[in-house]
Amino acid sequence: MALTPFHLAIPVHNLSECRDFYTNLLNFEEGRSSEHWVDYNFFGHQLVIHYKAKQAEGDATNLVDGKDVPIPHFGVVLEWNVFQEFAELLKSKGITFIIEPYIRFEDLVGEQATMFFKDPSGNALEFKSFKDMSQLFAK
């Protein structure tokens, strides 16, 4: 099956603040927009931030590798060098990581790089990469 772009719409409680985050901090290209939403090129996928009034927060996590991984979260699997470049860009811009970039399963099946951070509305993002992309679903 050919891989096609996904579409994901997420709520944000401050459209202006999140627009600045995705445009200027993450350097994502902006597409169409209105006063209520903004489209982004999310590594070839369509991410849309939609204004929604702030709701009560409840930070759910799941323990993975001794780290509290936020649930829910979303992101993209990047090529190894793109992940490294993106991680360096985020560090240079002073992003606050939930989980700093690190390597999981080093020298094992499924070796991968991963990192987690949140946008200004509390949406958790994970970006990961596999040295060998054929290991994406390896057991």
State the CATH architecture for 7-53+62-135.
Roll (3.10)
**How far is 54 from 21, CA to CA, in rounded Å?**
17
Q: pTM for this structure?
A: 0.87
Percent of the chain residues topping a pLDDT of 90: 76
* 10-32: average pLDDT: 96
What integer pLDDT is reported at residue 57 of this predicted model? 64
Kindly report the CA angle at 126 between 124 and 128, in degrees rounded to 5? 180
Q: Which of 114, 111, 88, 86 has the alpha carbon at shortest distance from 100?
A: 114
Token duo for residue 106: 């080093």
Reported as a single tens digit per residue, the pLDDT across 57-83 is 666 777 788 888 887 899 999 999 999
Q: Where are the beta strands (DSSP E) in the chain?
A: 7-12, 29-33, 37-42, 45-51, 60-64, 67-71, 77-78, 97-104, 112-118, 124-130
**What is the pLDDT averaged over residues 94-117?**
95
As a whole number, mean pLDDT of residues 46-51 equals 95
d(CA 30, CA 94): 22
Determine if the peptide bond prior to 70 is cis (ω within 30°): no
Domain-by-domain residue ranges, the chain? 7-53+62-135
